[in-house]
Amino acid sequence: MDSFLIKGGVPLHGEVEISGAKNAVLPIMAATLLTPEPCVIHRVPQLSDVRFMTQILEWLGAKARLDGGALRIEARRIKGHADYDLVRKMRGSICIMGPLLGRLRKAVVSLPGGCVIGARPINLHLKAFAALGAKIRIESGYVEASAKKLVGGPMFLGGRAGSTVLGTANAMMAAVLAEGVTFIESAACEPEVVDLANFLIAMGAKIQGAGSPTITITGVSQLHGAEHEVIPDRIEAATFAIAAGATNGEIVLKGARADHLRAVIDKLNEAGVVVERRGADLVARRNGRLQAVDVTTLPYAGFPTDVQAQMMALMALTPGISIITERIFESRFMHVSELARLGAEIEIEGPSAIVKGGKPLSGAPVMASDLRASAALVVAGLAARGTTQVNRVYHLDRGYEQMDVKLRRLGARIQRIEES
Ligand code: EPU
């Protein structure tokens, strides 16, 4: 397993190209299953999660070809059954279920199970399919949704932590080929949901209201091929902005969209990291001393759970006390004990982490537990004195395109140690 060796203490300067959004491209790739015609997706990030999703689509019968940054997928004939071995690698693969149900009227997918950040149930996904008239059966570790015909209707997708991003994606992808009109109430409002809706609309779907809590879908009998460019990754942009603040540098986030990052920009400004527009890009830099801020993660447009760990790394470097509350995933604090290895003082109290920041961090070997936890350890390592070895960076490779290469271009002393 590869690791990163980081010699910290270098302020990062320069430009970084923000890649296409992982959490937008995965459901968009799944949506290509809705038509037998070819689709072309632009600005596809080279990530292991994208490779997993490509394998799943190929296993289902689709043909996929990568041409530069464009991915061409043609799902002329497909089957509706996905095995445990395929699905277990990536929880996001659950979003093949909606399009399979929409197109074939039947989907059998291995239950994805939980992961280190929390239980990750799929009850709301199944509620959406049932609201469209599908019968749901769970047997031998597989979930089956099937229907003679899908009929649109009202559905409510609010859960205990707000809506569900992939659940909303699944509901939309099943409903576009249902008869009649579907109303999704308490829909997720994330930009990735809007990007998927835009792709589906380009395929001929009739969708209104994506980006708001009420989405209206008027079913059509078939969809056609389409071409689409994926939105820039707001979480990657936020991570580099935080790295600029943590190292007292200045980074131009090329192509990042301020309108997708309002809560992050607001919080970073409060913390003494300015993120402002420069032409078509954003630029992040420190504005004097860092200030301790409290952060609570919330569904969009609130502060994203996917930036919580990186923000905690920044707060560990900031003099004062910061309370970081996680409202989306109950166990998303795996980075706390690893940040402590670098010298951070953090206590967990229920859903909150209390960070007593400002003590200088010093490099140490640390273990990445999940994608965003890994990013937090890299940010901390970049600011720490001495050398930090971040082990198991395959987690990072799932969701950050060439992070080591991009950081090196910004001046970081970071090296990938490849292990066969
Ligand atoms: N939930 C339910 N029932 C469901 C589905 C979700 O109770 O049927 C709960 C979850 O347990 C959680 C909350 O609802 O408490 C939100 O989960 P959501 O379904 O929105 O998460 P997801 O769609 O599975 C996506 C991203 C995650 C990101 C979350 C929240 C993808 C592939 N994944 O997951 O991204 O954290 O939305 O924004 O889009 C990451 O990139 O590191 C990552 C984990």
The model's pLDDT over 356-415, given as tens digits with 9 standing for 90+, comes to 999 999 999 999 889 999 999 999 999 999 999 999 999 999 999 999 999 999 999 999
Residue 68, pLDDT score: 78
Amino acid at 353: A
DSSP string, 269-291: HHTTEEEEEETTEEEEEE-SS--
Say how many domains are in the chain: 2
- From the CA of 94, give the closest atom in ligand 1: 24
Q: How far apart are CA 158 and CA 320, in angstroms?
A: 36
Q: How far apart are CA 203 and CA 228, in angstroms?
A: 10
Residue 381, pLDDT score: 98
Whether residue 65 is predicted with pLDDT greater than 70 in this model: the reply is yes
Residue 368, pLDDT score: 86
Q: Which of 175, 197, 223 is the last residue of a domain?
A: 223
Distance 133 CA to ligand 1 centre (A): 24
Shared domain for 260 and 124, answered yes or no, is no
Q: For residue 409, give every residue at least 6 positions away whose Cβ sits within 8 Å of its Cβ, in sequence order, or none.
A: 14, 15, 16
Residue 326, CA distances (Å) to 175, 309, 330, 372, 396 in order: 32, 10, 7, 13, 21
Residue 89, pLDDT score: 82
155 and 182 in contact (C-beta within 8 Å)?
Answer: yes
Distance 331 CA to ligand 1 centre (A): 13
Shared domain for 129 and 240, answered yes or no, is no
Shared domain for 175 and 318, answered yes or no, is no
More confident residue, 83 or 276: 276
Shared domain for 379 and 267, answered yes or no, is yes
Q: Whose CA is nearest to atom 39 of ligand 1?
A: 23
Shared domain for 253 and 321, answered yes or no, is yes
Residue 113: pLDDT band with limits 50, 70, 90: low
| 189 is a catalytic site residue | no
Residue 263, pLDDT score: 98
Residue 239, pLDDT score: 98
Share of the chain above pLDDT 90, in %: 91
- From the CA of 370, give the closest atom in ligand 1: 42
User: Based on the number of CB atoms within 10 Å of its own CB, is 313 exposed (0-12), middle (13-18) or buried (19 or more)?
Assistant: buried
Residue 341, pLDDT score: 97
Q: How far apart are CA 212 and CA 313, in angstroms?
A: 32
Per the structure, the complete domain to which residue 107 belongs is given by 22-223
Distance 166 CA to ligand 1 centre (A): 7
Q: How far apart are CA 6 and CA 25, in angstroms?
A: 30
pLDDT-wise least confident of 20-29, 82-91, 101-110, 404-413: 82-91
Shared domain for 336 and 193, answered yes or no, is no
Whether residue 69 is predicted with pLDDT greater than 80 in this model: the reply is no
Q: Whose CA is nearest to atom 37 of ligand 1?
A: 165
Residue 114: pLDDT band with limits 50, 70, 90: low
Q: How far apart are CA 298 and CA 389, in angstroms?
A: 31
* Residue 300 belongs to domain with CATH number: 3.65.10.10
- From the CA of 372, give the closest atom in ligand 1: 42
CA dihedral 189, 23, 92, 52 (to 10 degrees): 160
- From the CA of 92, give the closest atom in ligand 1: 32
- For 396, phi then psi, to 5°, come to -65, -40
Shared domain for 74 and 216, answered yes or no, is yes
Q: Whose CA is nearest to atom 44 of ligand 1?
A: 306
Shared domain for 159 and 258, answered yes or no, is no
Distance 305 CA to ligand 1 centre (A): 9
Distance 31 CA to ligand 1 centre (A): 18
pLDDT digits (tens, 9 = 90+) for 187-217: 999 999 999 999 999 999 999 999 999 999 9
Shared domain for 142 and 63, answered yes or no, is yes
Shared domain for 219 and 345, answered yes or no, is no
Eight-class DSSP state of 14: E
Sign of torsion, CA 231 301 290 317? negative
Pocket of ligand 1 (CB under 6 A): 23, 26, 92, 118-125, 159-161, 164-167, 188, 305-306, 328-329, 371-372, 399
Q: How many CB atoms lie within 10 A of CB 416?
A: 16
